[in-house]
Amino acid sequence: MEKKAEKKQEKIEEKGKKVTFNISKEKNFSEWYTEIVQKAELGDIRYNVKGFIVFQPWSVMSMEKMYHYMEKTLQRKGHKPYWFPTLIPEKNLKLESSHIKGFTPEVFWVTSHGNDEPVEEKLALRPTSETAFYQMFSLWIHSYKDLPFKTYQRANVFRYETKATRPFLRSREFHWIEAHCAHESEEKAMLQVKEDMETTREVLHDIFGLPFIFFERPSWDRFPGAKRTFAADVLNPDGKVVQQPSTHLLKQDFAKGFNVQFKDKDGKDKFVWITCYGPATSRIFASVIIVHGDDKGLKFPWKIAPLQVVIVPIKNEKKILDEAEKIKNNLEEKDISAEIDLSERSPGDKFYFWEMKGVPLRVEIGEKEIKEGKLTLFRRDIGKKEVISNLDLLSYVDKTSKEIDKNLIKQADNLFNNRVVDVVDKKQLKDSIDSGKIARCGFCSVDEDGAGCAEVIEKEVLASVRGTKLEKETPSGKITKCVICGKKAKEVVYVARQY
Ligand SMILES: [Zn+2]
């Protein structure tokens, strides 16, 4: 499988060759994903460490923009940026028992240097940085006046995944932002959790166009060391969900383990309440590819497109190229990224190529356009051409870019419509999950008592309990019993298959 994929990757690297892409995303989602990652040159899987890929320019340019919007939003809400070391001493990880237990199987350890001489102490390549941040929190936080203490960093983290890896979706190294905040009370920490959810909506939904549902995870699915875990599930066209940002209210074990105390207004020493939030940029990028792409290739929301406008000269003649250059400069002056396709491909091949790459707008310019003072514009999101006066280009781009984003968000939101169905027993549950739905059902308990029923769902339905909504729904109507054991339902939960 991997060999075959490698061969294909070599082929498309023959520059200037015709690139065609036409795979049904609905019918062959898996093949579609593998192919688009290679053809659009998003990630090269041939790097010779298993589970690691090279991020190529087309994905990096988009992810840089994604980072920009996420960081800007976090900073606006009072988070300060940090860059922490990649290495974490083993003793830090050990300070919180469930944390070390949860992460140990996935940790890459650094145990030697130089000629295999042992390091003074065993070090972890950060799988996540709670235990790096909080040790420093104890040095920086002294008084209630220091709170809330809101931080974040953009970083790459390492986890030895044993499940099959997939570019951007699951790799042994991924790129993310982790935000860590200390608060004076549990109530204030919970407000932070809600703010993190709002941030997710503002950035992932309103800018990246990703629809999701935020769930509180059941007790058996919490982040190691968390009192409460909330996570956003994005839906794939094949009905499976991908977990996107999660935000956690941590148990005070972390604050106690690292002795993060503050003097409160009443003069007493108290332990802080900590929250952490982790939007994984590379995995969010996977959802952008998956949610927006179609059978012809990628589609990018305007603000995070690696390239916003491609200019295709119908012939490589001086008069046409001069005009193309003028258009490019005009767009760039307005901070719109633009490129002229000067390759040897035929105009038709150029059209296919840039549609596959997901460039939101294409400007076509030939002799006819120059003579008439017009331009032909093509919108990737709806696949339609429009002819405009060349004097109107900037106002057209300004207006259309907004329409493109609105349209992509609407299309993506529709993905969720009719996808959530109510079920009352195991058979209905299995049938609806098999047909690519998210099931809403009654459940006995999201505490340890319900773990048995959750296991039945994992084994027999091959799906998992994603959790409850933040605004808890009370069982009512036909949802009154646990979908598995039939006992009186305490909760309304959602069940889906996960990537
Ligand atoms: Zn049950």
Tally of residues, the chain = 499
What's the pLDDT at 253? Answer: 92
Is 301 within a domain?
no
Q: Do 138 and 195 fall within a single domain?
A: yes
DSSP label of 322: H
- End of a domain among 231, 261, 292? 292
**Separation of CA 271 and ligand 1 centre (Å):** 37
**Separation of CA 428 and ligand 1 centre (Å):** 15
**Separation of CA 94 and ligand 1 centre (Å):** 34
Q: Can you tell me the mean pLDDT for 250-274?
A: 96
Looking at the structure of the chain, the number of domains it has is 3
What's the pLDDT at 1? Answer: 42
Strands 309-313 and 338-340: parallel
Q: What is the mean pLDDT of the chain?
A: 93
Q: Do 313 and 343 fall within a single domain?
A: yes
**Separation of CA 318 and ligand 1 centre (Å):** 73
What's the pLDDT at 7? Answer: 53
**Separation of CA 495 and ligand 1 centre (Å):** 13
Q: Can you tell me the mean pLDDT for 196-220?
A: 96
**Separation of CA 448 and ligand 1 centre (Å):** 11
Q: Do 274 and 332 fall within a single domain?
A: no
Q: What is the pTM of this model?
A: 0.93
Q: To which H or E segment does residue 401 belong?
A: helix 393-416
Instruction: Please give the Cα distance from 102 to 234 (Å, whole number).
Output: 24
Q: Which residues span the domain enclosing 22? A: 2-292
**Separation of CA 453 and ligand 1 centre (Å):** 5
Instruction: Please give the Cα distance from 52 to 7 (Å, whole number).
Output: 18
Residue 5: pLDDT over 80: no
What's the pLDDT at 20? Answer: 75
- End of a domain among 232, 263, 292? 292
Instruction: Please give the Cα distance from 322 to 20 (Å, whole number).
Output: 29
Q: Can you tell me the mean pLDDT for 91-95?
A: 90
Is 90 within a domain?
yes
**Separation of CA 483 and ligand 1 centre (Å):** 7
**Separation of CA 229 and ligand 1 centre (Å):** 21
**Separation of CA 242 and ligand 1 centre (Å):** 25
Unique residue bearing structure tokens 């809403």: 440
Q: Which residues pair with 14 in a beta bridge?
A: none
Q: Do 198 and 247 fall within a single domain?
A: yes
pLDDT tens string 407-465:
999 999 987 777 999 999 999 999 999 999 999 999 999 999 999 999 999 999 999 99
Of 318, 376, 382, residue with least CA distance to 347: 376
Is 265 within a domain?
yes
Q: How confident is the model at residue 2 (pLDDT cuts 50, 70, 90)?
A: very low
Unique residue bearing structure tokens 């409850």: 468
Q: Do 131 and 182 fall within a single domain?
A: yes
Q: Can you tell me the mean pLDDT for 353-368?
A: 97
Residue 152, token pair as written in the block: 């974040």
**Separation of CA 489 and ligand 1 centre (Å):** 8
**Separation of CA 160 and ligand 1 centre (Å):** 33
Unique residue bearing structure tokens 């890896």: 165
Q: Do 319 and 273 fall within a single domain?
A: no
- The verdict on whether omega for the bond into residue 306 sits within 30 degrees of 0, i.e. cis, is no
What percent of the chain shows pLDDT beyond 90? 87
Instruction: Please give the Cα distance from 214 to 204 (Å, whole number).
Output: 12
Instruction: Give the C-alpha distances (Å, rounded to integers) separating 135 from 91, 139, 141, 258, 260.
Output: 11, 7, 11, 5, 8
Residue 13: pLDDT over 80: no
**Separation of CA 445 and ligand 1 centre (Å):** 7
Residue 348: pLDDT over 50: yes
Which CATH number fits the domain that encloses residue 20? Answer: 3.30.930.10
**Separation of CA 450 and ligand 1 centre (Å):** 6
**Separation of CA 430 and ligand 1 centre (Å):** 16
**Separation of CA 211 and ligand 1 centre (Å):** 29
Q: Do 193 and 216 fall within a single domain?
A: yes
**Separation of CA 486 and ligand 1 centre (Å):** 6
**Separation of CA 444 and ligand 1 centre (Å):** 4
Q: Do 116 and 159 fall within a single domain?
A: yes
What's the pLDDT at 11? Answer: 47
- Rounded to 5°, the CA angle 31-379-349 comes to 60
**Separation of CA 232 and ligand 1 centre (Å):** 24
Is 415 within a domain?
no
Is 410 within a domain?
no
With contact defined as beta carbons under 8 Å apart, do 59 and 42 qualify?
yes
- End of a domain among 373, 404, 435? 404
Q: Do 365 and 448 fall within a single domain?
A: no
Is 337 within a domain?
yes
Q: Do 288 and 316 fall within a single domain?
A: no
Q: Do 131 and 186 fall within a single domain?
A: yes
Is 258 within a domain?
yes
**Separation of CA 153 and ligand 1 centre (Å):** 40
Is 123 within a domain?
yes
With contact defined as beta carbons under 8 Å apart, do 273 and 188 qualify?
yes
Q: Do 103 and 249 fall within a single domain?
A: yes
**Separation of CA 97 and ligand 1 centre (Å):** 29
**Separation of CA 95 and ligand 1 centre (Å):** 35
Q: Which residues pair with 230 in a beta bridge?
A: 216, 247
